Structure 1
Amino acid sequence: MSRRYAVAMALLAMSLVAPMSVAPIGVAAQQFTPRGHDITLVIGAPGTSDFAEQFARWAGRWRGIAERGEIEMEVIGETESNKSDYEILRSRVSSWNDPGTTHWIVFIGHGTHREGESKFNLRGPDVRASELAKWLNVTQIDASELQRNAPMVIVNCSSSSGPFVNALSAPGRVVVTATASASEHNFARFGDYFSEAMLSLESDLDHDHEISVLEAFLRASKQTQRFYESEARIATEHALIDDNGDALGTRAKAFRGTRVIANAKGDTDIDGQLARRIALPMGIDGQTQPLSDAQSVTRDRIEIQIETLRRRKHEMAEVTYYDEFELLMLELAQIYQAASQEQQGSREHDGGDAVTPAKASDQE
């Protein structure tokens, strides 16, 4: 480890335990609109009472997530209505016109693939991947629009869900599927582990007391693999995540921690860069979210710069690389220092102790 890298990491560590003598950077709140979240939970036709119980348990965890984060959530597929679940889903997603909200769509249930089309099995008419893509108005989005619009998260926990990646992939959109292809048609357990991962401290790979989409995906993929290994069974599901708009998807084995170790094809950015920055506003393990909305946006900007710098490392002089790396780490440290001081003041006012996060994802 070089001296300059050690200095950069020491700066971050210092920010987590003691005030720094540098002038704090502003989080530029006026430049960003805090982004809210909502969840659309779609529960499919269970088929049997056993599956109904399992899906109800997974849905219960999502209710806990929404309650903890005070997030609006609409559940489709539980109550009776004069409209079909298909019509309710179409009406809901087609009406979204609020660019400041990160919409989550989570599908719990069974999937099928027939006549070249993957479907999610609803009560009544099923929804095709191509239909959902049409409702969501898949278009090419330029960079300026991506900066103005909140991202979207789609998690399909059903069998034969892989083609939903191909159909729904777009810039500014995270798509997670339980399977890598339509041929993986056996019952998928990924949804069970994904809902658990969203609430588990074990998912928090970067130790910032929040669970990103990427972290939940990695944890759920690992737990799914362990299930098949413990049962001495051949794995019949391999989850994918896609957030670079190339419609290919990436499996969990391509990551080490939250950093991808495989290369994307062509000039496309690697998957995971967007998903690692999206987390629902809730604490885990009894702790509150450490950063404000504005601080999170600024942190995301710096982390993008760090990742870009890492990709250029091979073409830079070592001293230049570590000089730039040190400056970015100092900026990042100042954000966490400010958040820590704010949290300390709040807890002292309430008579409690402050809890400070560590940000392991910034290490080499």
Structure 2
Amino acid sequence: MISRGALASAILLATAAVQPILGQDPYILVVTGIGGGQEYSERFREWGGALVTAASEKFALPAANIIYLGEDVDADPRIRNRSTRESIDQAFANLASSTQPGDHIFVVLIGHGTFNAGESRFNIPGPDLTAEDFGLYLNQLADRQVAFLNLASASGEFVSALSGEGRTIVTATKTGREGNETIFGGYFIEAFTGEAADLDKDGRVSVWEAFEFARIEVTREYETTNRIATEHAVLDDNGDGEGSTELAEAADGRLARTMFLAADPTMAAAHATNDPKLGALFEQKADVEQRLKELRDLSGLIPQDRYDNELEELLVELALTNRAIQARESEIN
């Protein structure tokens, strides 16, 4: 078993991290649908605007990586176009042409949903869009990592329709029949605009963290107001089309833990450098960091001896990679 002294030494080496250069960021498409009344229109616009502000100001996404479509283009200067079918068509075409395989793309729907004759729809100005319509859009983004977040009512059927490899699907409701007004969306967006959802305090919020934060807050609100819950959010990221409402021991959640509305600083550094050797070292570091995260997720689930041994190996590998990065930076600077 690893000694405390050896583990401490490995941790010190690993945490002497190289300061990465910021580079590429994820992409986000925010669509606020038709409100059907001033109260809802203002609420949806408030949620959409807050998320766009967090993306640009808190997580430093470039303006070119943010597409914001809304019901009223005059209500917020950041809204590019009205959220019609034609504008959404163009937005997905732009994402398909401007992103590369492996990029992380967030699609966020904020508004009302309906469920009729076994079909779920997202309500927008003009003809509504079905889950199948969005499936065709997502097919344009093959080889990208996609987080599709439908925060509307009656959204549950989107899970089975859109589930697939490389996709994290979140819906505010478990079925299409949960058609009442939902509060999940507000808390989900608050997870990104605030600080409380950053459970590991790494300065970023994953989709997994946002989902858990919002789920807990929704439960708390219904309980404190003595109401029966009429919404049950679902997350699916293993491609089985089933989804999970609680992630602690669920089959879902692994991919969602890797989806952040902020650039991975190590991969950003890899993309930003013009030196192939340094870029390869940053990619190697990112791989080790990802394996560390995956191992930590297994804490308590695998024998302690195995956990400690694998942790020591990874921390030493990370420390050696950091040293190699520092050495290469000294050579080229």
TM-score with structure 2 setting the length = 0.76
Q: Distance in 1 between matches of 2:127 and 2:322?
A: 49
Could you list the per-position Cα deviations for residues 43-86 of structure 1 after superposition, in whole angstroms to 9, with x for gaps in the alignment? 11101111112112101211212321233222222328998701
- Structure 2 distance, partners of 1:110, 1:311, is 41
Task: Check the 8 A contact 2:208/2:256 in 1, yes or no.
Answer: yes
- Tell me the residue number matched to 2:61: 70
Which residue, out of 251, 259, 275, partners 1:278?
259
Tell me, in whole angstroms, the C-alpha distance in 2 between the residues paired with 1:58 and 1:308: 31
Give the 4+ runs in structure 1 shifted more than 4 A. 5-9, 80-84, 289-292, 307-312, 318-321, 332-339
4 and 61 in structure 1: CA distance in 2 versus 1, 3 angstrom threshold: same
In the aligned structure 2, how far is the partner of 1:82 from the partner of 1:57?
17
Residue 231 (structure 2) aligned to one of 221, 232, 237: 237
Report the equivalent of 2:111. Answer: 109
Q: Deviations over 1:166-193 (max 9, x none)?
A: 1111111111111111111101111111
How far apart, in 2, do the equivalents of 1:232 and 1:9 lie?
Answer: 49
SS at match of 1:107: strand
CA deviation profile, 1:181-235 (whole Å, cap 9, x unmatched): 1111101111111111012221111121111111111111111111111211011
State the secondary structure of the residue aligned to 1:41. Answer: strand
> 2:35 matched to 1:46?
yes
Residue 56 (1) aligns with residue 56 (2): no
- Name the CA distance, whole Å, in 1 between partners of 2:116 and 2:33: 17
- Does the residue aligned with 2:196 lie in a helix, a strand or coil? helix
SS at match of 2:43: helix
Alpha-carbon distance in structure 2 between the residues aligned to 1:193 and 1:82: 26
- Cα distance in structure 1, aligned partners of 2:317 and 2:108: 35
Percent identity (aligned): 34
Distance in 2 (CA, whole Å) between partners of 1:196 and 1:129 is: 25
Give the Cα–Cα distance (whole angstroms) in 2 for the partners of residues 211 and 102 of structure 1.
14
Correspondence 1:14 to 2:12: yes
Aligned to 1:325: 311
Matches within 5 A, 1:154-173: 154-173=148-167
Q: What is the one-letter code of the residue matched to 2:253?
A: G
Residue identity opposite 1:278 in structure 2: M
Query: CA, structure 1 residues 212+117, in 2 after alignment: closer, same or farther (shift >3 Å)?
Result: same
2:210 equivalent to 1:216: yes
> In the alignment, what sits opposite 1:191?
185
Cα distance change of structure 1 residues 298 and 157 upon mapping to structure 2, 3 Å threshold: same
- Specify whether residues 114 and 338 from structure 1 end up closer, same or farther in structure 2 by C-alpha distance, changes over 3 A only: farther
**Correspondence for 2:125:** 123
Are residues 302 and 188 of structure 1, via their aligned partners in 2, closer, same or farther at CA, if it must alter by over 3 Å? Answer: same
| 1:90 alignment partner in structure 2 | 89
Q: What is the CA-CA distance between 1:4 and the residue it aligns to?
A: 2.9
State the alpha-carbon separation in 2 of the partners of residues 99 and 57 from structure 1: 31
| Equivalent residue, structure 2, for 1:99 | 100
Kindly indicate whether the alpha-carbon contact (under 8 Å) linking 1:113 and 1:160 is maintained by their aligned counterparts in 2: yes
RMSD: 3.5
Decide which moves more: 162-171 or 330-339: 330-339
Q: Who is 2:2 aligned against?
A: 4
Gap regions ≥5 residues in structure 1: 142-148, 256-260, 263-269, 283-288, 342-364
Q: What displacement does 1:127 show?
A: 0.4
Ranges in structure 2 where 5+ consecutive residues have no aligned partner: 75-79, 271-281, 327-333
Structure 2 CA distance for aligned equivalents of residues 198 and 336 of structure 1:
30
Q: What letter matches 1:119 in structure 2?
A: R
TM-score (norm. length: structure 1): 0.70
1:226-305 alignment, distance < 5 Å: 226-251=220-245, 253-255=246-248, 261-262=249-250, 270-281=251-262, 291=266, 293=268, 294=270, 297-303=286-292
CA deviation digits over 1:112-138, x for unaligned, max 9? 100110000111111000111022228
Structure 1 partner of 2:330: none
Q: CA deviation at 1:307?
A: 6.4
- Contact in 1 for aligned 2:266/2:286 (Cα 8 Å): no
The 2-side partners of 1:227 and 1:121 are apart by 26
Q: Distance in 2 between matches of 1:328 and 1:195?
A: 34
Question: What is the CA–CA distance in structure 2 between the aligned matches of 1:219 and 1:338, rounded to whole Å?
Answer: 38
